[in-house]
Amino acid sequence: MRILRGSALFAAAMFLQWWWNTHLAYWGAAPQFLLALTVLVAARRGPLAAILIGWAWGLYADVLRADLFGANALLYALAGYAAGMVRRQVDLRAIGPLATAVFLLSWAYALSLGVLGMIFSKGFVWIGWPSLLAGPIMNALAAAAASLIWEAGARG
Amino acid sequence: MQRETRIAHYVVGLLTALSLVLLSLPLSSPVRAFKACASYVLYPLAYRGERGYQRIAEAPARARALLSADVENGDLRDQLRRTLWLRQTVESLSIENDRLRRAMRLKPPAARHPVWAHVMERDPQRWYSSIAVDAGADAGLSLNDAVLGRRGDDLVAIGRIVEVRPNTATVLLLTDQRSAVAAYLSSGTLEGLAQGQDGPHLRVNYLNAEARIVADDTVYTSPTSATFPPDVLIGRVARVYPRDPFLAFQSADVAPALDAASLQEVMILRARPGPGAPASALVGPLPREASAPAPAKTPAPAAAPAAQEAR
């Protein structure tokens, strides 16, 4: 049952990310639900689950783009790993630290993606000002909302 | 906890290495095969998602369309019922019409087929007499076909075909002295005979002597006309002549609705060609629609206009 629910949530998150990107993204800015959820999984389930799930979600994000195949998989897995490591010092179950971690990891993601582009592609991959400025905030909000939903689901 | 962390180290190292391989060798066969597999597994989510989203997104519009189609269907059904009833009425009227025609031994009205032609020649010496058009036997024209002009949206009686050549035809204008057409005035449905004067005006003779003719009255072709269809505009009464006590009818001048000088194209009402009818004919004697009117002081018979036009 738990596997089924996990699989459904796994697929639902990918669907949500695709749907938001396709139909609700304005000026190129959309929350990275998969990144936020990876951090949330790390906070709730530990680094191992977050790494595996993050890598799979990153692979999905890579499939949808034409270049740098594997970049998102790497960065999401690293984000899950980092969050899993951080949760030992910081209580990421609380919304504030979780949102902060997601916010910082989003900046790190943007920077790392640019560097990966510089190494494996023609140059620094610039995600754009709207995504750079609004993306981390939206990611933090998404992580907070997902955390609340997770909490409610766990209580129910 | 320590064990899980250790495993996490290994896993993240492994996946990082794998990711770096994917990033480093994007064009190698194994990476491309892996990407193809990942696309095969993961891409349907987006594809099916889009299809499902479209269906859901279109649902309100489809429901709206369904409702409006239902309303429209009801309206069309009512309309169809009314049309069926109307058709039955028309059919019964048609049957009744045929029966009455047979009873009265009337011929059915001749079918007419319009043919448009350009005015190709106009003789200044005979400005009010005739014009030539660029349609002839090739267009199925025959003698005495009615020729109409166009003024705005109205059709106006112009004349009739008096000569038919293979590609051209000559139109005798109503203003020619040899032309005459049975006509009526709109105010009192007074019948008369509109005759050409070789000038800009026509003259309507044989109007009832007791009738009160109004200037500017509209003149139309009569249903008794042998050449023209009924109710085609001819012109307006321009002048009413004082009543002559020695005459049994009145006369009035009519300004044609269409000046011959302004004609560019005309519509010729081609009669249905009968079997064995000559395809082309150059007219010998001019087929006058009406002979010269009875001289003055001769009382006109009741059916004078029609009789004279048909002569």
DSSP string, A4-25: HHHHHHHHHHHHHHHHHHHHT-
The minimum CA-CA distance between A122 and chain B, rounded to whole Å, is: 13
Interatomic CA distance for residues B237 and B239, integer angstroms: 6
Residue B186 φ/ψ, nearest 5 degrees: -70, -30
3-state secondary structure of A43: helix
Tell me the sheet residues that pair with B160. B146, B172
B53 touches chain A (CB under 8 A): yes
Residues of A in contact with B31 (CB under 8 A): 69
Whether residues B42 and A84 touch (CB distance < 8 A) is answered with no
Instruction: Quickly tell me which residue has 């019964």 as its tokens.
Output: B92
Interatomic CA distance for residues B287 and B311, integer angstroms: 9
- Amino acid of residue A135: G
**Contact at 8 Å (CB) between B252 and B241?**
yes
Mutation choice for A interface testing from B32, B42, B43, B51 by most A CBs within 10 A: B42
pLDDT of amino acid A56: 93
Q: Which residue of A has its CA nearest to B27?
A: A69
pLDDT of amino acid B292: 35
CB atoms within 10 A of CB A138: 20
Tell me the sheet residues that pair with B149. B156
Residues of B in contact with A51 (CB under 8 A): 8, 11-12, 15
Tell me the sheet residues that pair with B56. none
Which residues does A128 contact at the CB level (< 8 Å), separation at least 6?
A28, A29
Structure tokens at A83: 């969050």
* Parallel/antiparallel/unpaired status of strands B190-196 and B154-164: unpaired
Interatomic CA distance for residues B290 and B182, integer angstroms: 9
Shortest CB distance from B43 goes to which of A22, A63, A116?
Answer: A63
Whether residues B42 and A120 touch (CB distance < 8 A) is answered with no
pLDDT of amino acid B189: 67
CATH topology assigned to domain B112-310: Thrombin, subunit H (2.40.10)
Structure ipTM: 0.86
A82 touches chain B (CB under 8 A): no
Interatomic CA distance for residues A60 and B44, integer angstroms: 11
Residue from B267, B277, B309, B270 nearest B292 by CA: B309
Q: Which residues numbered 95-154 in A keep a CB inside 8 Å of some CB on B?
A: 116, 119-120
> Which CA distances in Å does A51 have to A47, B9, B143?
6, 10, 99
3-state secondary structure of B34: helix
Per-residue pLDDT of chain B (311 residues; tens, 9 = 90+): 688 888 999 999 999 999 999 988 888 888 888 888 888 887 777 777 777 877 888 888 889 999 999 999 999 999 999 999 999 999 999 899 888 878 877 665 566 788 888 887 776 666 778 888 888 888 889 889 999 998 877 889 999 998 888 888 889 999 888 899 999 988 776 889 999 987 888 999 988 888 888 888 899 999 888 889 888 999 999 988 888 778 888 889 999 998 877 788 899 998 755 444 444 333 333 333 433 333 333 333 334 444 445 33
pLDDT of amino acid A3: 82
Structure tokens at A42: 């790390």
Interatomic CA distance for residues B226 and B271, integer angstroms: 12
Highest averaged pLDDT of the listed ranges A31-35, A129-133, B242-246, B283-287: A31-35
Residue A36, pLDDT > 80, answer: yes
**Domain spans of chain A?**
2-155
**Contact at 8 Å (CB) between A39 and A81?**
no
**Contact at 8 Å (CB) between B260 and B120?**
no
Residue B253 CA to its chain's centroid (Å): 31
The sign of the CA dihedral A64, A69, A74, A79 is: negative
The sign of the CA dihedral B27, B31, B37, B40 is: negative
Helix ranges, chain B (H)? 2-24, 29-104, 304-310
**Contact at 8 Å (CB) between B169 and B117?**
yes
Residue B174 φ/ψ, nearest 5 degrees: -65, -25
Which 8-state DSSP code applies to residue A26? B
Residues of B in contact with A19 (CB under 8 A): 49, 53
Which residues does B170 contact at the CB level (< 8 Å), separation at least 6?
B130, B131, B132, B133, B161, B162, B163
Tell me the sheet residues that pair with B255. B236
**Contact at 8 Å (CB) between B127 and B173?**
no
3-state secondary structure of B210: coil
Interatomic CA distance for residues A140 and A96, integer angstroms: 9
Instruction: Quickly tell me which residue has 């749907």 as its tokens.
Output: A19
Q: How many CB pairs under 8 A join A and B?
A: 83
**Contact at 8 Å (CB) between B243 and B233?**
no
In CATH, the number for domain A2-155 is 1.10.1760
Residue A15, pLDDT > 90, answer: no
Whether residues A46 and B8 touch (CB distance < 8 A) is answered with yes
pTM of the model: 0.49
CATH 2.40.10.340 range(s) for chain B read 112-310
CB atoms within 10 A of CB B129: 21
pLDDT of amino acid A64: 72
B19 touches chain A (CB under 8 A): yes
Interatomic CA distance for residues B250 and B192, integer angstroms: 9
